[in-house]
């Protein structure tokens, strides 16, 4: 919603839906450095296999190849139809093109207005479905400015000369409170064609319960930043759900259900199934507290084991990247939710894990996060890995 925040009026709708019906900072609340190197949506999601029999209780992960190395505080990852990738550098405020075959990195340009500080900067990026198949199209970015967090869109063209591959930003949505911590930042296009954003409460927990603030929410909007005509609790508001501390992972399963990963404070990190109008409790509840009017998470972890950022659904499971936990979590799903307890992979092998994105069928892209000032970078950090999963 260009230049306006029509969030007032959502309170009554959200409260009513909640009646019928909380996550640590990036590093996990001062963790030490690593010591060594349901909204209007179709039944199936684009790029997802149709729902079938539940996945096995135990899965497998193999690292097929290292796609690229030498990335600088990477945060967001957006695949292009031909197999190449766009990556956002949080602290430099730049978007980089990565050749999916050879790993060559080419800077598209810097996003003007980016003001990196703490956990803020150039965060999530997303390419609309069908864009970029000829090396040109639109890319959306969630960024921290001097005054707020906002979402912008830009055109890009890989065929243009160096320095002009990225167009000027057009502001789609602004006014999301910023902070040194808890800026959220993940954006994604849903199977309904809408743009979704996970926001943080910027360190002020009360904002997560304030229906008039976009902080501590999951937002659902048109690609132009307006509240959709249908599907949100309040037709005049982009707020889909509230009571979130710091959402940095969003993806949909084959049945069109939205899943989100969320940083907890000192007690529990969360995996939530998101339903319109639900209140997920922060700061009144953290983890499975069963509070009246609040929706409990589907799974929870101690922050030392997770501190989750990115999330992807592939091969019938949710895959969740852990920063402080330095591991990839698998949560197998059936038609209603998890069918078995979480299983972890790659523990400590690649350090902090920031972003995980579906790469088609049984493949994932995984982005490490050792160069974000909270890791211990080794040779080749940071990197993009291609995983085979089951």
Per-residue pLDDT of the chain (390 residues; tens, 9 = 90+): 433 344 544 444 444 444 333 345 676 443 333 333 333 333 334 446 555 677 888 999 999 999 999 999 999 999 999 999 999 999 999 999 999 999 999 999 999 999 999 999 999 999 999 999 899 999 999 999 999 999 999 999 999 987 789 999 999 999 999 999 999 999 999 999 999 999 999 999 999 999 999 999 999 999 999 999 999 999 999 999 999 999 999 999 999 999 999 999 999 999 999 999 999 999 999 999 987 899 999 999 999 999 999 999 999 999 999 999 999 999 999 877 788 899 999 999 999 999 999 999 999 999 999 999 999 999 999 999 999 999
**How many angstroms separate the CA atoms of 267 and 276, rounded?**
26
Tokens of 360: 């088609």
**How many angstroms separate the CA atoms of 216 and 318, rounded?**
22
Task: Calculate the CA dihedral of residues 361, 71, 261, 85 and round it to 10 degrees.
Answer: -40
**Got the DSSP string for 279-294?**
B--TTT--SS---TT-
Tokens of 140: 């959306």
Closest to 156 measured CA to CA, from 103, 243, 96, 232: 96
End-to-end CA distance of the chain: 40
pTM of the model: 0.90
Block residue for tokens 């996550």:
23
Block residue for tokens 């999601």:
45
**How many angstroms separate the CA atoms of 95 and 117, rounded?**
17
**Structural contact between residues 214 and 247, judged by C-beta atoms closer than 8 angstroms:** no
Report in angstroms the alpha-carbon separations of 78 from 57, 66, 162, 187, 369: 30, 17, 20, 10, 16
Residue 25 sits at φ, ψ, to 5 deg, of -65, 175
């Amino acid at each position: 919603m260009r230049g306006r925040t029509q969030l007032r009026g959502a309170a009554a709708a959200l409260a009513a839906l909640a009646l019928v019906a909380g996550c640590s900072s990036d590093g996990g609340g001062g963790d030490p450095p690593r010591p060594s190197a349901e909204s209007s949506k179709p039944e199936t999601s684009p790029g997802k296999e149709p729902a079938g029999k539940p996945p096995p209780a135990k899965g497998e992960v193999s690292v097929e190849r290292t796609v690229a190395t030498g990335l600088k505080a990477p945060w967001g990852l957006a695949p292009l139809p031909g197999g190449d990738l766009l990556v956002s550098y949080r602290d430099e405020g730049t978007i980089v093109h990565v050749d999916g075959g050879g790993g060559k990195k080419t800077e598209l340009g810097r996003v003007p207005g980016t003001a990196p500080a703490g956990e803020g900067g150039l965060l999530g990026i997303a390419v609309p479905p069908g864009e970029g198949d000829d090396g040109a199209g639109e890319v959306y970015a969630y960024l921290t400015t001097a005054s707020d967090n906002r979402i912008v869109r830009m055109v890009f063209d890989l065929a243009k000369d160096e320095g002009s591959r990225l167009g000027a930003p057009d502001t789609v949505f602004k006014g999301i409170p910023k902070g040194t911590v808890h800026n959220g930042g993940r954006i994604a296009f849903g199977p309904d064609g809408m743009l979704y954003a996970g926001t943080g409460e910027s360190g002020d927990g009360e904002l997560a319960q304030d229906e008039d603030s976009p902080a501590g929410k999951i937002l659902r909007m048109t690609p132009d930043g307006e509240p959709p005509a249908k599907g949100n609790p309040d037709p005049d508001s982009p707020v889909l759900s509230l009571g979130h501390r710091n959402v940095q992972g969003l993806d949909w399963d084959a049945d069109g259900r939205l899943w989100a990963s969320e940083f907890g404070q000192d007690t529990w990190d969360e995996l939530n199934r998101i339903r319109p109008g639900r209140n997920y409790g922060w700061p009144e509840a953290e983890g499975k507290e069963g509070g009246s009017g609040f929706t409990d998470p589907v799974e929870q972890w101690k922050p030392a084991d997770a501190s989750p950022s990115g999330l992807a659904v592939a091969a019938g499971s949710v895959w969740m990247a852990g920063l402080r936990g330095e591991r990839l979590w698998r949560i197998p799903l059936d038609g209603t939710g998890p069918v078995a307890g979480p299983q972890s992979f790659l523990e400590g092998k690649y350090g902090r894990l920031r972003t995980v994105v579906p790469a088609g069928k049984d493949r994932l892209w995984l982005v490490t996060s050792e160069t974000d000032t909270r890791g211990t970078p080794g040779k080749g950090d940071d990197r993009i890995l291609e995983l085979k999963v089951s």
